[in-house]
Amino acid sequence: MIFTRESQLLQLKEASIILLDKPINWTSFDAVKKLKYVISKQIGVKARKFKIGHAGTLDPLASGLLILCTGKATKSIQGIQDAPKSYEGTLELGATTPSYDLETEVDQKFSLEGLSEMACHAAAKSFLGEIDQTPPIFSAIWVDGVRAYKLARKGEDVKLKSRKVSLHAFDVDAQQLPTIKFKVKCSKGTYIRSLANDFGAHLNNGAYLSSLRRTAIGDYKISESWNIEDLIEFINTFERNESL
């Protein structure tokens, strides 16, 4: 069911799970829209009749594993979304941004005096297990029928409820302060941007996410994924009616 270089065009039409390495500055919807156009054209059906969707949003400023499902495989989306996620990235201590990442400018700066590697490792351990986490106001969560990020960009006061999430692993490398390299494995619904912000607050300091890459969703690994340009080129090598 996973689409590989040994797969046939018919598989894309009937049921495929596509492991995609989403580039930075692409939205998850951008990837779905692009592949919907390319695949539907190649299999000779109207785009609106071709079923394709993604199994878990990845922020535009993040790269890494985005799973797309086509045809009957779209029934697998919920199960994939429920699986644990793994990420790696960097965060910057000593400052905060309203979006908790690089989408917005720094709004506060803090002194790094007294900050140590030991304190950073201890802080990371404190987040393991089930925690309460409040999503960023710059997120796609619905607030009275409007996406939270749209309200936040207008400068409106956005209040979001906290939720229970779980961190199964959270490893940090604090050898190059104020930059922290990290790896995290977490439950669905976890916002790594919020984790970065909360991590800084735990240290009585500020922090924001400076880079993020999703490396796994359940048993699906980034090492098995397609570069989007290579995938499109491969799909276009099929003859229009091959295997259909």
The tens place of each residue's pLDDT in the chain, 244 residues long, gives: 899 999 988 899 899 999 999 999 999 999 999 999 999 999 988 988 999 999 989 999 999 999 999 999 999 999 999 999 999 999 999 999 999 999 999 999 999 988 999 999 999 999 999 999 999 888 778 888 888 888 888 888 888 889 999 999 999 999 999 999 999 999 999 999 999 999 999 999 999 999 999 999 999 999 999 999 999 999 999 865 454 5
Residue 59 annotated as catalytic = yes
Do 134 and 52 share a structural domain? no
How many CA atoms lie less than 13 Å away from 202 in the CB half-sphere? 17
Candidate list 21, 30, 59, 230, residue with the active-site label: 59
Q: Residue 109: what pLDDT? A: 96
Secondary structure, 3-state, 25-59: CCCHHHHHHHHHHHHHHHHCCCHHHCCEEECCCCC
Please tell me whether the overall predicted TM-score, pTM, comes out greater than 0.75 for this model.
yes
Do 175 and 95 share a structural domain? yes
Confirm whether 72 is domain-assigned.
yes
Residue range(s) defining the domain that contains residue 203: 85-217
Do 110 and 17 share a structural domain? no
Do 225 and 164 share a structural domain? no
How many folded domains does the chain comprise?
Answer: 2
Residues contacting residue 79 through CB under 8 Å, at least 6 positions apart: none
Rounded to whole angstroms, how far apart are CA atoms 118 and 129? 20
Do 129 and 190 share a structural domain? yes
